[in-house]
Amino acid sequence: MNTSRSKPPYLRLPALTLAAVLCACHGDVTPPTDEPVPITDDSGECIDPPRYTEDVSTCTPLATDYQPRVAGSAQDSWTVCISDDNIYHRLYTSISTIGRVAAFDFIADSLWRKKKVPTVEDFTQARLRYTESEGLGSRVERREDIHYPAAPAACNSSASIPADFPERCVGPAKLRPLINESFASGMRGETPRVNAARIEAALLWFLYVSPLSEVVSCTTKDADCDSAWAYYTGGTPRGEAVGLARYVRELAPETHERAYDATLAVRCWRDLDRANPATQFELRDRARSQLDAALLRGMAVIVRQRFQELTCTSGEAREARWAFLKVLVPLMAREARLRDEARADTLERQVQRAHPEEVDVPAAVVALDALFACP
């Protein structure tokens, strides 16, 4: 006698029929898809922007560096000075440069920082702030890059000097025309995010060269040491960064700390060298070199971030990053070529591409990380 029990009806169904029955029991089931998770929002911005984590654990200060955060400078090669308490002590109460950095932040809030498309009115108000008497624009017009040999006359002394010496006369020869053209285009309502990005890049270039220029001019005008500090910090303590310092601190905190150390080195030099004009050029140049190394690293990290954002932006948002990089990568070229010509070539090739989609972002990032590894 067959004592086995009969199988329930659903166990005798073919597999496909069973699957249909089960699906019917549980309602409609959406089949899996292979569509990628979106990385760009409706405005073309990154949904989850790349995040850079700074690691400079293998970097060590030079023997000539000023280190106020380490035992109040007691373990470095510098003589005891006013900056050893890790605070910048102003030479003068009033520092006009602070207002110029505040103008930069106003322009940033108006044109790019608030993640909105700037309007014609935004460009108009930003340009009014830029062109204030003795304001930010007045200093762009005469800014010189002290990395290059001096011109035979001041860069703002005649129209021919900037044309003949564009690298030294970076303000009137390169930055001013670009900024003016971008403001005019933005005020006509043309590609607002692209024009905002060009202005941003040009002003960051200005904020990089300005502290270094002020260190040199502090040789004969001690108030310019205050300006060197303020052009980087906006006149703020370490932890309250504005202007360029805000950019650097948000991406690379230790690089920011090193840059702030260097501004204190400048003040230390002028405390130890109170002659007018100053006489201790070797000490001055130690402070300036320390500041330059940190600022270059800061600029490289900013550029690095914009390269990475090319991978998750689209439309005008991507074109804005591309415009930013085409302005600012040439700033890095001089020092990059001194350090490693092959990597400098790799970096420069990226901004010579016809379209941002053609950029080799990993190659650019690797080159930047190798060229500017330490502050």
Which tokens hold the place of 105?
């932040």
Q: Is the torsion defined by CA of 91, 93, 94, 97 positive or negative?
A: positive
Res. 18: pLDDT tops 80 = no
**Under a CB-based contact definition with an 8 Å cutoff, are residues 73 and 82 in contact?**
no
**219-272: pLDDT as tens digits:** 999 999 999 999 999 999 999 999 999 999 999 999 999 999 999 999 999 999
For residues 52 and 55, give the distance between their C-alpha atoms in angstroms, rounded to a whole number: 9
pLDDT-derived band at 29 (thresholds 50, 70, 90) equals low
Q: Is 7 helix (H, G, I), strand (E, B) or coil?
A: coil
Which tokens hold the place of 292?
């330059």
**Under a CB-based contact definition with an 8 Å cutoff, are residues 163 and 194 in contact?**
no
- Beta-carbon contacts of 265 under 8 Å, excluding residues fewer than 6 positions away, are 65, 66, 78, 83, 286, 287, 290, 291
Give the pLDDT score at 37: 78
**166-219: pLDDT as tens digits:** 999 999 999 999 999 999 999 999 999 999 999 999 999 999 999 999 999 999
For residues 269 and 278, give the distance between their C-alpha atoms in angstroms, rounded to a whole number: 9
DSSP string, 84-141: GGS----SSS--THHHHHHHHHHHHHHHTTTSSPPPHHHHHHHHHHHTSTTSHHHHHT
Res. 13: pLDDT tops 50 = no
**Under a CB-based contact definition with an 8 Å cutoff, are residues 56 and 254 in contact?**
yes
Give the pLDDT score at 117: 96
DSSP string, 266-280: HHHHHHH---SS---
Q: What proportion of the chain, given as a percentage, has pLDDT over 90?
A: 88
Distance set, CA 174 to CA 2, 30, 226 (Å): 98, 57, 26
